[in-house]
Amino acid sequence: MVHGTVSRELNVKTARQLANALGRDSIVQMFPELGPLRIKVKSTANEFSDTDIYSMTATTRGYACILSYESFENRPDLVLEASQTDALNYANVFTQMGFTCDVHTSLTNEETVNALERVRDMKALNDVGCAVFVISSHGSTGDSFLTSDMKQIYTERILNLFKDTECPQLRNKPKLFIFDFCRGYYVENGSHFHVTSPIRIQEPLQDMICLYSSSNGFSSYSFTKDGSAFGKALCQTLAQHSHDMELHELYRELIMEYRKVSLAVPQLRNIGFSKKYYFNPVPSTSMY
């Protein structure tokens, strides 16, 4: 394991990650890839339930939509090698929690919007306790991210798809959005992108919370084939503590876990998230 100043400055934790960060390809081959995390989610002994707590007692705890962007059109230099590993880690953890999961890889701008619209219209959302959306990509100008065809989508556009009138199946249910990208990291000089802009609406968004891998303007770029530092820290935090910790307690645990390998600080944004939230993970034997 790599510790101390080197670990913090280069956002690395293992010898393989250090060799990757230093560009020592010959040394990288000396260390095996870690691949997906082999972790077991602790199940809750007693379900948390009260009037000031979002109900998470449905048989299917929730639905998770994972959007992972690995490759980008005509830009091999932007490949995110960790995306597949991260997607497996997220799917593993949420499945163990009692969620149903769908994973989408390297979609175009249009495909991304279409996939999210299909989720919005799913009747199965009537029977889940919550919905979780994970987006892992390159951040771009403003609060937006790149799709595989080098177009941008603002996160606000994603949120607006799931306002109450658009998705009544999730009315009064918690909706969690996890954005794993550097906010403002990618800027292409001399190029103009098609931007899927946010939709201006009168109806306020409700029961939403957003978790960003870094604060606005700060780079959290730390991707290797072993998985991103943020993705691993979040999955480990959920596996170890989601059985007995409320969401804001989990956030503090995540900060401490992530601090071991990165200088970036995850940011939590509350949008009408008016109650306490517990994942209440169910007993499961699933594990990669």
What are the tens digits of pLDDT across the range 96-111? 999 999 999 999 999 9
Residue 71 resides in a domain: yes
The per-residue pLDDT for 189 is 41
Residue span of the structural domain in which 265 resides: 36-271
Residue 158 resides in a domain: yes
Residues 179 and 222 placed together within one structural domain of the fold? yes
Residue 276 resides in a domain: no
Residue 286 resides in a domain: no
Residue 173 resides in a domain: yes
Residues 77 and 150 placed together within one structural domain of the fold? yes
Residues 26 and 40 placed together within one structural domain of the fold? no
Kindly report whether the global pTM for this prediction surpasses the value 0.75.
yes
Residues 16 and 130 placed together within one structural domain of the fold? no
How distant, in Å, are the alpha carbons of 53, 184, 189, 222 from that of 130?
Answer: 12, 29, 40, 29
Residue 280 resides in a domain: no
Q: What are phi and psi of 205, to 5 degrees?
A: -75, 145
Distance CA 152, CA 267 (A): 21
Residues 28 and 45 placed together within one structural domain of the fold? no
Residues 185 and 215 placed together within one structural domain of the fold? yes
Region for residue 105 given its phi and psi (left: phi exceeds 0; alpha: psi -120 to 50; beta: otherwise): beta
Residue 97 resides in a domain: yes
Q: How many domains does the chain have?
A: 2
Residues 101 and 21 placed together within one structural domain of the fold? no
Residues 49 and 12 placed together within one structural domain of the fold? no
Specify whether the CB–CB gap between 210 and 145 falls below 8 A.
no
Distance CA 224, CA 52 (A): 41
Residues of the chain scoring pLDDT < 50: 1-8, 10, 13, 28, 31-32, 186-193, 220, 288
Residues 232 and 131 placed together within one structural domain of the fold? yes
Residues 87 and 21 placed together within one structural domain of the fold? no
Residues 19 and 136 placed together within one structural domain of the fold? no
Question: Which residue's structure tokens are 């379900």?
Answer: 47
Distance CA 187, CA 141 (A): 7
Residues 70 and 4 placed together within one structural domain of the fold? no
